[in-house]
Amino acid sequence: MSRVDWKSQTVVLTGASGGLGTQLAEQLSAKRAKLLLLGRSKPELCALAERLHQDYFVVDLRENDAVTKLRAFIEQQNLDITGLINNAATTHEGLFEETEVEDIQRVIATNLTVPLTLIHSLLPQLRASHGWVMNIGSVFGAIGFPGQTLYCASKFGLRGFGEALHRELESDDVQILHCAPRAIQTQLNKGVIQRLNQQLKASADKPEWVAKQIIHQIEQQQPLKTLGWPEKLFTRLNGLLPELVNGSMKKPRALLHQLIKEKSL
């Protein structure tokens, strides 16, 4: 039985116009939740909001005054926020030694700094409503994977932060939830990493299925959930016996170098 009455929920959803974000918006709207959709693309975000009859706010959350503007909009619209889904994410594929400083700043800001800043800003409202936060992580937040150093750093950080905050807050206070999907069939997983996954015969889940699992986790108020098999097993093994997982990374590492070399030709 669901512990969440969606009809009484007002949820902030970041990255709403992306593949997973759109599915979350559609499925939550079908449950009659009230949403505030956030994103950077006005045409896509506006079209989605109009179709679902939801509020939206166009913003680049990496900008210094973004959260201040968002807070002002929430107060202007008199929204009582009860939930936050930190879904917006970006990645950078390739070797760490070949990354630019701008890539480091972009990935860490989008995937880690922004979620923390949003939670910090909305925490008073969430506390008042005994609300919840859902951080969308990744299996790469528990397994270091070659070619995804920046993404892993940000998702490891998000998971550790959520775990610490969950233990810091009172049990009847804000619930901090974390979902760790494996690869999803979205634009985020394209290019070299997609080809790497194909050659390794790694599975990628449809965004509508992942969204359904996330919503079910929120309904059950389950703190941590990892999606996909054998990824779920590997995350546990990596926590207990990282040296065992190290050996299994030889093939992905070799394929990564090969694909990057082919791309540069």
The torsion defined by the Cα of 161, 94, 256 and 232, in degrees rounded to 10, comes to 20
> Which two tokens mark 59?
């913003």
> Which two tokens mark 242?
């990282």
151 labelled catalytic: yes
The distance of Cα 235 from the centroid of its chain, to the nearest Å, equals: 17
The distance of Cα 171 from the centroid of its chain, to the nearest Å, equals: 23
- The backbone torsions φ and ψ at residue 209, rounded to the nearest 5 degrees and listed phi first, read -70, -45
Question: Are 77 and 55 contacting, i.e. CB atoms less than 8 angstroms apart?
Answer: yes
- Asked whether the bond before 230 is cis by omega within 30 degrees of 0, the reply is yes
Q: Pairing relation of β-strands 10-13 and 34-39? A: parallel
Which among 151, 186, 238, 259 is annotated as catalytic? 151
**Beta partners for residue 37, in sequence order:** 13, 56
Which positions are annotated as active-site residues? 151
